[in-house]
Amino acid sequence: MVPSRTYIKKRNTTSDHVRSNERIRAPQVRVIDADGNQLGVMSSRQAIDMAKAQGLDLVEISAKATPPVCQIIDVGKFKYERSKKRKEQKPQAIKLKEVKFRLNIDEHDYSFKRDHAQDFLLKGNRVKASLQLRGREFEFKDRAFEVMRRLVEDLKEAGTVEAQPRLSGNTLSVCLAPSK
């Protein structure tokens, strides 16, 4: 016979867990009302009754303080505001956008793609401009470098060059970062 396994569910120890009302274990708590005014130190039962009388919840703000700090506020509103603050604090990832060019690019197409690259840089994204040489176009590498130099010159106010234009295989590429 195979022994049965018992799985113990770990307690939610993430920072999303909020103690409120009867889950507050401390006998004495420092209470702050909904307007942010301190009401002083009182028993947790008395604070819970005060919160219920106002139609709100008693939420533990700082459990590590002595005595723990609790606020009379709606739990849902408290969680929402806290998650909103966390999202604002997270650094936004800088994305790499790519713009592809051709060797014999028309003036209108060039300006259209240049404008897109400029928009990406102004929004805070990095831009990789690439130009692929096919077949006999490889004989005109100097013209391809000229297209990239022109692009770098046109975008010098919006971004700075991270790496100079370089040829890798049959692709010429340059990376631009947004200006500070």
Contact assessment for residue 70 and residue 59, using Cβ atoms and an 8 Å cutoff: yes
The answer to whether residue 91 is domain-embedded is no
By residue range, what is the domain housing residue 75?
A: 21-83
The answer to whether residue 66 is domain-embedded is yes
Q: CATH code at 58?
A: 3.10.20.80
Q: Return the C-alpha torsion angle 137, 143, 149, 151, nearest 10.
A: -60
Average pLDDT, the chain: 89
Judgement on whether residues 112 and 171 belong to the same structural domain of the protein: yes
Q: CATH code at 119?
A: 3.30.110.10
The answer to whether residue 46 is domain-embedded is yes
Judgement on whether residues 79 and 112 belong to the same structural domain of the protein: no
d(CA 148, CA 114) in angstroms, rounded, equals 11
CB-based burial of residue 104 (10 Å sphere; 0-12 exposed, 13-18 middle, 19+ buried)? exposed
The answer to whether residue 113 is domain-embedded is yes
Please give the C-alpha separations between residue 163 and each of 24, 101, 125, 167, 175, in angstroms, as whole numbers.
Answer: 57, 17, 15, 12, 6
Judgement on whether residues 68 and 125 belong to the same structural domain of the protein: no
pLDDT in tens, 54-81: 999 999 999 898 899 999 999 999 999 9
Judgement on whether residues 121 and 63 belong to the same structural domain of the protein: no
User: In this structure, how many other beta carbons lie within 10 angstroms of the beta carbon of residue 50?
Assistant: 16
Q: How many domains are there within the chain? A: 2
| Identity of the amino acid at 9 | K
Judgement on whether residues 65 and 100 belong to the same structural domain of the protein: no
pLDDT score, position 13: 47
d(CA 83, CA 24) in angstroms, rounded, equals 21
The answer to whether residue 108 is domain-embedded is yes
pLDDT in tens, 112-148: 999 999 999 999 899 999 999 999 998 999 999 999 9
Judgement on whether residues 173 and 115 belong to the same structural domain of the protein: yes
Domain boundary among 49, 83, 117: 83
Judgement on whether residues 137 and 65 belong to the same structural domain of the protein: no
Contact assessment for residue 21 and residue 58, using Cβ atoms and an 8 Å cutoff: yes
- DSSP-derived letter for residue 131 is E
Domain boundary among 30, 55, 83: 83
pLDDT score, position 4: 63
Judgement on whether residues 112 and 164 belong to the same structural domain of the protein: yes
* Mean pLDDT of the region 150-175: 93
